Amino acid sequence: MALATWRTINKGPHGEVVDNDILTMRFLNFPFLVYENILKHLEPRELLLFSFCSLKTRTLVSRMRHTPTYTIFILDKPEKMSYGFVEKPEKEQILLSWTWKKIAMERKNLEKWTQLKLEDVHLDCRVTFHRKLNIPTLVCRCEDVSSRKRFATALHSHMCEVFHVKPEMQFKLSLDYMDELPYTNTV
């Protein structure tokens, strides 16, 4: 029996922590068809988080049939990026958002963080959920600048592998705070 653990931190409308739980999910050793029947009831953002758990879960998710046509990076706020895919024209579905914070990793804070591994990128992250939209947000430490630069590309490669999307990248930018295209360090 395999285990996956993560911490959820739900924030209220004013940014205060409303709920702070450690979730543990046990993956029983079922046949593939049982897993397939369970996974087909999950939303794409749940499948994405599930695919981060292990190589076995990544393989399970990638064996499913997915119908997205292309992926999109959304940069509509400073220091917050979102990633989604499009199944129907003009209707993107945001799967994941992420932001970068400078946080010292002290002994008392270690239990709140988990390490996300995508290809050659290893990041200390914490998963929070937007209360109304239920979109997972990764709050990542930004001390390792080289990992920060490679994260978006690694996430896109992971999506192409797991959800079988085309490797083309599209960007949706907000001109409210951007007067030119972002630097590669931003993306």
What pLDDT, in 10s, does the model give residues 32-81? 778 778 888 888 888 888 888 878 888 888 888 777 778 888 877 767 78
Residues 6+ apart with CB under 8 A from 149: 184, 185
> Quick check: 4 pLDDT over 70?
no
CA distances for 93 relative to 6, 85, 90, 125, 150, angstroms:
23, 6, 10, 22, 23
On average, the pLDDT of the chain sits at 73
- pLDDT over 90 percentage in the chain: 0
Q: Are 51 and 57 in contact (CB under 8 A)?
A: yes
Mean per-residue pLDDT for 148-152? 78
pLDDT at 129: 82
CA distances for 135 relative to 59, 67, 185, angstroms:
23, 20, 24
pLDDT at 117: 78
> Quick check: 98 pLDDT over 80?
yes
Of the two residues 18 and 143, the one the predictor is more confident about is: 143
pLDDT at 18: 54
Q: Are 97 and 138 in contact (CB under 8 A)?
A: yes
Angle between helices 44-51 and 55-62 (to 10 degrees): 150
pLDDT at 2: 43
Count how many residues are written for the chain. 187
Mean per-residue pLDDT for 101-118? 67
Tell me the domain boundaries of the chain.
Answer: 2-173
What's this model's pTM, rounded to 2 decimal places? 0.70
88: Cα within 13 Å, side-chain hemisphere: 1
- When pLDDT is cut at 50, 70 and 90, the band that residue 22 belongs to is low
106 phi, psi to nearest 5 deg: -90, 160
